Structure 1
């Protein structure tokens, strides 16, 4: 008879929770596409409202609709592209290194302009 009990001498395995799982990629993409299309629909309504109401309602209201029609595509693209790139880590891929003192004599920046300062001793 086989037992499904755990042996006490084995290390415990990590248990994954479904609530910590990320949203499926297809669902995330569909959600972002839907949000983008809704915002573009609002943009079309704002633009059509500005054109059709020009001269019929106060000018500031028509200009407000026109400004909304101009700004909405930028914000819609920002929101549509804000997807799965969030990370819990700090994103540091390289460690900072300190440059220590060099060895040997400095070359290239001498105070005299004589050609005898060549490293091989030629003039």
Structure 2
């Protein structure tokens, strides 16, 4: 009976390692807070533009105030994936990386 060789876990390179959970949550909260602050600015701008009689501007602020919560939730739920596009090769003896030198 042939024995199956156990696979060793793949090496994680520091450039492609995920950030800590606390850092990820902090980044998501910051993105959400910025989006909600921008939504508040749009809502206040809509009221001020309406009171000032700028009738073409308040609908733009209204659309921003309506659309930004959706954008904020999508951005807050977006995860960051680090990948530099470089795959590590198997370093086993069956796949030498360099051929023999010119004198061999």
Alignment partner of 1:77 is 2:69: no
Q: CA RMSD in A?
A: 2.4
TM, length-normalised to structure 2? 0.62
d(CA) in 1 for partners of 2:49, 2:37? 18
2:90 match: none
Structure 1 unaligned blocks of 5 or more: 1-13, 89-123
2:41 match: 45
d(CA) in 2 for partners of 1:31, 1:24? 11
1:59 match: 55
1:21 match: 17
d(CA) in 2 for partners of 1:15, 1:32? 27
Specify the structure having the higher radius of gyration (Cα).
1
SS at match of 2:18: coil
**Structure number with higher relative contact order (C-alpha < 8 Å, ≥ 6 residues apart):** 2
Structure 2 unaligned blocks of 5 or more: 1-9, 84-104
2:101 match: none
TM, length-normalised to structure 1? 0.53
Going from structure 1 to structure 2, the CA distance change for 1:36 and 1:15 (only over 3 Å counts) comes to closer
Q: Deviations over 1:97-123 (max 9, x none)?
A: xxxxxxxxxxxxxxxxxxxxxxxxxxx
